[in-house]
């Protein structure tokens, strides 16, 4: 306001600002612009709506694109709350301490740039990463690696870039009780793959399965951004970066092992199984056995600790369609029975079992039951061994051995099959596992609290198809080529052996030889 306010007008303005955060921010809040310096904060409609959500809902989760000023509007809201509400305890958390302290700095700057008469609460304690007002309200920054906030009651918890915070599930378990006295939470982030705390709570919020109010803000909510701006902005960005930074697309963001575009191709083929059978109805069948085709069964056996599943897939080798699938918590003996029955049903197909500690028990039962077609591999190279040779060899072992060496190899083979569209997947269970299968510390593995049993079963199947079956097919081609090279000769051989080409029947000579033989037959008998 460009004129001197009377005491009555000041009181009126203060009361109005205390009641209306939106009015306060648009009228008195100032922000730092990278080019224009200190400017008035004139909010956009989507920012105003966000302020209303902060007021009306106790828990808010914001799925956002970058450069929309969401952290800034959140900081302005926090500044309003701290100044017009007494004894508010605010904690800002982020994966990096600098990110959290930067938001605290924005809150402090909003307060410092207010008219002096508007500062009804003064800063009495001022630190680099925290400050306290004279009305008892305080704010501090914390990284997610500490235990800050766990021992105190919080009025507001702000989690900035929540999707990028590792271990937020455990942190939330510890922090949630601090909000039990009516505290609020605002979680902000761009997406960062699936399976993390932020993704799960966004999905649950969309389905109204939790207490969070979700707001999704893609790049085009900003009135100054159009298609031309988007094309210019994304010119040098990867597809994953676009999904993460601008489109609020979980499935396309993050460092998943399988590229989202490739998974999208697979998703188009997903259908409900024709049959759901087995003792637990977890054996799903899309296609029954066709004697015109060759099949293979690959299995990943649960470790036995109760946290994972046993799983297997049945492949139609010629087309690499997954025609059947099992995932369940069957005991080793029951799982062996399932494998035996499924293998018999699909023409005594080759059964490939991961031979970990529990896997050996499954393999032994299969052998005891006399299953005729079990996969063997060499101990040193992990390559396929012919059963007829392997059964009598100390250098081969039943099943497939998964090690630190073979695990990335089989996963890479599965990724190759998917990338080149050489495999058909009908199962949404397998697709869902692929969405949460990521690169972590240079290793392919499932996100925390998720499983990869179906992935490993499928990956082993892809490896065996490419190695064992390829070798067999190559050997068959070699044998066929060898047989075809053996051509019939037209040459007449001169021989006295009956039945051979060129045999000449000389009766006189044969009769003379026969009489001579009879004369001395006693020598032979003697």
pLDDT digits (tens, 9 = 90+) for 399-410: 998 888 888 889
Asked whether the CA dihedral 206, 209, 215, 218 is positive or negative, the reply is negative
Q: What does the block give as tokens for 289? A: 């056995």
Cα 265 to chain centroid distance, Å, stands at 16
Identify the pLDDT of residue 150.
64
Identify the pLDDT of residue 487.
53
Q: Which of 184, 217, 250 is the last residue of a domain?
A: 217
User: For residue 327, is it within any domain?
Assistant: yes
Nearest partner of 174 among 146, 138, 142, 199, judged by Cα: 146
Same domain, 41 and 159: yes
Q: Which domain holds residue 370?
A: 260-474
Same domain, 142 and 279: no
pLDDT at 476 over 50: no
Among 36-45, 130-139, 154-163, 490-499, the range scoring the smallest mean pLDDT is 490-499
498: Cβ contacts below 8 Å, ≥ 6 apart: none
Give the mean model confidence (pLDDT) for residues 289-317: 91
How far is 455 from 460, CA to CA, in rounded Å? 9
pLDDT at 320 over 60: yes
pLDDT at 142 over 70: yes
Same domain, 136 and 209: yes
Give the mean model confidence (pLDDT) for residues 473-498: 53
Q: What does the block give as tokens for 244? A: 């993460």
Same domain, 145 and 264: no
Q: Which of 434, 451, 474 is the last residue of a domain?
A: 474
Residue found by looking up tokens 């299968």 in the block: 437
Q: What does the block give as tokens for 121? A: 């609460």
> What's the domain count of the chain?
2
Give the mean model confidence (pLDDT) for residues 289-293: 96
Higher-scoring residue by pLDDT: 356, 21: 21
Secondary structure class of 492 (helix, strand, coil): coil
pLDDT at 472 over 60: no
Same domain, 316 and 438: yes
Question: Cβ distance 351 to 300 under 8 Å?
Answer: no
C-alpha Rg value of the chain to the nearest Å: 37
User: For residue 504, is it within any domain?
Assistant: no
Question: Cβ distance 396 to 378 under 8 Å?
Answer: yes
pLDDT above 90 as % of the chain: 58
Which pairing describes strands 396-398 and 376-378: parallel, antiparallel, or unpaired?
A: antiparallel
Same domain, 151 and 272: no
Secondary structure class of 437 (helix, strand, coil): strand
- The torsion region of residue 167 among left (phi > 0), alpha (psi -120 to 50) and beta comes to left
Helix axes 197-206, 168-175, angle to 10 degrees: 70
CATH code for position 90: 3.40.50.300
pLDDT per residue as tens digits for the range 213-254:
999 999 999 999 999 999 999 988 877 788 888 998 886 666
Identify the pLDDT of residue 251.
66
Same domain, 64 and 201: yes
- The torsion region of residue 81 among left (phi > 0), alpha (psi -120 to 50) and beta comes to alpha
Q: Which of 183, 217, 251 is the last residue of a domain?
A: 217
Cα pseudo-dihedral 494, 496, 502, 506, rounded to 10: 110
Question: Cβ distance 352 to 342 under 8 Å?
Answer: no
pLDDT per residue as tens digits for the range 424-435:
999 999 999 998
DSSP secondary structure code for residue 465 in this structure: I
The total number of residues shown for the chain amounts to: 526
CATH code for position 291: 3.30.420.240
Beta-carbon neighbour count of residue 326 at 10 Å?
28
Nearest partner of 258 among 436, 449, 451, judged by Cα: 436
Q: Rounded to whole angstroms, what are the CA distances from 144 to 55, 66, 511?
A: 26, 21, 108
Identify the pLDDT of residue 166.
82
pLDDT at 159 over 90: yes
pLDDT at 266 over 80: yes
pLDDT band at residue 303, thresholds of 50, 70 and 90? confident
pLDDT at 196 over 90: no
Q: How far apart are the first and last CA of the chain?
A: 138
Same domain, 177 and 82: yes
DSSP run (H or E) holding 60: strand 59-64
Asked whether the CA dihedral 202, 204, 210, 211 is positive or negative, the reply is positive
Nearest partner of 461 among 405, 418, 413, judged by Cα: 413
Same domain, 441 and 334: yes
Same domain, 157 and 276: no
Question: Cβ distance 294 to 288 under 8 Å?
Answer: no
pLDDT at 340 over 80: yes
Same domain, 183 and 294: no
Question: Cβ distance 143 to 95 under 8 Å?
Answer: yes
How far is 393 from 242, CA to CA, in rounded Å? 55
User: For residue 235, is it within any domain?
Assistant: no
User: For residue 229, is it within any domain?
Assistant: no
How far is 367 from 364, CA to CA, in rounded Å? 5
Same domain, 20 and 167: yes
How far is 69 from 73, CA to CA, in rounded Å? 6
- DSSP letter string over 125-176? EEETTEEEETTS-EEEEEETTS-TTTTS--SEEEEETGGG-TTHHHHHHHHG
């Amino acid at each position: 306001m460009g004129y001197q306010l009377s005491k009555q007008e000041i009181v009126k303005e203060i009361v109005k600002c205390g009641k209306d955060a939106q009015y306060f921010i648009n009228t008195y809040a100032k922000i730092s612009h990278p080019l224009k310096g200190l400017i008035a904060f004139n909010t956009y409609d989507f920012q105003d709506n966000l302020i209303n959500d902060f007021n009306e809902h106790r828990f808010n989760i914001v799925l956002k694109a970058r450069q929309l000023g969401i952290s800034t509007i959140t900081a302005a809201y926090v500044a309003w709350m701290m100044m017009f509400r007494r004894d508010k305890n605010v904690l800002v958390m982020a994966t990096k301490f600098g990110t959290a302290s930067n938001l605290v700095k924005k809150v402090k700057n909003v307060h410092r740039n207010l008219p002096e008469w508007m500062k009804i609460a003064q800063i009495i304690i001022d630190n680099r990463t925290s400050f306290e007002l004279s009305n008892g309200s305080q704010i501090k920054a914390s990284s997610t690696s500490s235990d800050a906030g766990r021992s105190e009651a919080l009025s507001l918890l702000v989690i900035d870039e929540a999707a990028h915070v590792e271990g937020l599930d455990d942190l939330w378990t510890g922090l949630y009780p601090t909000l039990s006295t009516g505290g609020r939470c605002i979680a902000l982030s761009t997406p960062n793959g699936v399976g993390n705390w932020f993704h799960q709570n966004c999905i649950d919020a969309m389905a109204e399965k939790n207490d969070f109010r979700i707001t999704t803000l893609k790049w085009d909510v900003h009135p100054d951004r159009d298609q031309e701006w988007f094309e210019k902005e994304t010119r040098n960005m990867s597809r994953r970066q676009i999904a993460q930074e601008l489109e609020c697309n979980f499935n396309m963001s993050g460092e998943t092992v399988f590229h989202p575009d490739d998974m999208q191709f697979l998703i188009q083929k997903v259908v409900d199984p024709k049959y759901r059978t087995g003792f637990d109805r977890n054996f799903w069948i899309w296609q029954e056995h066709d004697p015109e085709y060759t099949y293979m069964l690959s299995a990943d056996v649960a470790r036995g600790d109760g946290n994972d599943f046993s799983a297997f897939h049945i492949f139609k080798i010629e087309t690499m369609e997954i025609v059947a699938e099992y995932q369940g918590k069957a005991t080793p003996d029951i799982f062996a029975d399932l494998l035996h029955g499924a293998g018999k049903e699909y023409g005594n197909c080759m059964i490939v079992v991961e031979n970990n500690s529990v896997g050996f028990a499954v393999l032994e039962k299969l052998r005891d039951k006399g299953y005729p077609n079990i996969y063997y591999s060499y101990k040193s190279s992990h390559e396929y061994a012919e059963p007829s040779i392997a059964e009598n060899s100390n250098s081969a072992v039943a099943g497939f051995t998964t090690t630190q060496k073979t695990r990335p190899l089989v996963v890479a083979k599965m990724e190759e099959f998917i990338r080149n569209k050489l495999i058909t997947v009908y199962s949404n269970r397998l697709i869902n596992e692929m969405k949460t299968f990521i690169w972590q510390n240079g290793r392919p593995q499932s996100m925390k609290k998720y499983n990869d049993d179906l992935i490993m079963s499928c990956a082993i199947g892809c490896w065996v198809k490419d190695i064992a079956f390829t070798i067999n097919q190559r050997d068959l081609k070699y044998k066929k080529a060898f047989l075809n090279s053996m051509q019939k000769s037209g040459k007449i051989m001169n021989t006295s052996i009956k039945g051979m080409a060129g045999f000449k029947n000389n009766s006189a000579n044969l009769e003379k030889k026969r009489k001579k033989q009879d004369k001395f037959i006693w020598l032979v008998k003697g």
